[in-house]
Structures are given as structure tokens and as C-alpha cells.
């Protein structure tokens, strides 16, 4: 059947995006997955069907995007609705903030937090 460089690149990027989504390389999986889909669509041209490499790249790119979006959604859900994870996130955030800026988070924005009605 027909094959071109766009379809081969689509397959390669789709599989790279899938690999990155399994290892939580957040930005790479989005970039590779999106590029795989775009290149698969471009490789089709005016033909009716996709070639095998383009179809593989399209499926792998879509799967990579779905996996990564699911991981992000589960992470946000865990932080927002599970108290243990929320406390762990808050503790880690405060420690990182103090390491980066040298002052505790509570001391950096007291008026702002009081205006919002947030007590720490």
C-alpha cells in the first residue's frame, strides 16, 4: 500500500507519546500525541483511507492524550476531594515555597489571605 514520511513520523511520534504518557512525562506526551494526530491527518491527503503507519500513529497519539488527560483529572480529583492527599499537597507546597523563597508561605501573603477569609 502507499506510505510516506508523514505516516512514518506519525507512527514514531505516536509511539513516543504513548511511551511518555506511561512514564508521566507530561509535556512530551501532549506534544508527541498531538503531532502524531496532525501528521496522520496530513499523510492521508486526498485518499479515502489511512495507511497502516498513519492509523497506528493516530491511535497511539489519541491513546497517549487520553491517558495523560485521565492522569491529570485523577490527580486534581485526589487533591480536591480526598483530605489526606489535600493535606499532603499543602504540606509539600509549603515546604517547597519556603525552600525556594526563604520565608514561610503564611508570612508572605497575610493581608491577601485575610481579605479572602482563608485561615491557615
pLDDT tens, N- to C-terminus, the chain (120 residues): 566 889 999 999 999 999 999 887 878 999 999 999 999 999 888 888 888 999 999 999 999 999 999 999 998 999 889 999 999 999 999 999 899 888 887 777 766 667 677 766
What was the pLDDT predicted at 1?
A: 52
What was the pLDDT predicted at 56?
A: 94
What was the pLDDT predicted at 111?
A: 64
pTM: 0.76
DSSP the chain: ----HHHHHHHHHHHHHHHHHHTT-HHHHHHHHHHHHHHHHHHHTT-SS--HHHHHHHHHHHHHHHHHHHHHHHHHHHHHH-HHHHHHHHHHHHHHHHHHHSS-HHHHSHHHHHHHT---
Amino acid at each position: 500500500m502507499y506510505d510516506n514520511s508523514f505516516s512514518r513520523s506519525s507512527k514514531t511520534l505516536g509511539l513516543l507519546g504513548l511511551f511518555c504518557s506511561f512514564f508521566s512525562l507530561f509535556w512530551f506526551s501532549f506534544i508527541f500525541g498531538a503531532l502524531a494526530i496532525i501528521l496522520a491527518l496530513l499523510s492521508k491527503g486526498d485518499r479515502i483511507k489511512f495507511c497502516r503507519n498513519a492509523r497506528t500513529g493516530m491511535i497511539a497519539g489519541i491513546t497517549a492524550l487520553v491517558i495523560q488527560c485521565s492522569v491529570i483529572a485523577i490527580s486534581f480529583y485526589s487533591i480536591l476531594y480526598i483530605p489526606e492527599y489535600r493535606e499532603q499537597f499543602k504540606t509539600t507546597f509549603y515546604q517547597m515555597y519556603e525552600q525556594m523563597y526563604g520565608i514561610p508561605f503564611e508570612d508572605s501573603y497575610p493581608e491577601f489571605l485575610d481579605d479572602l477569609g482563608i485561615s491557615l
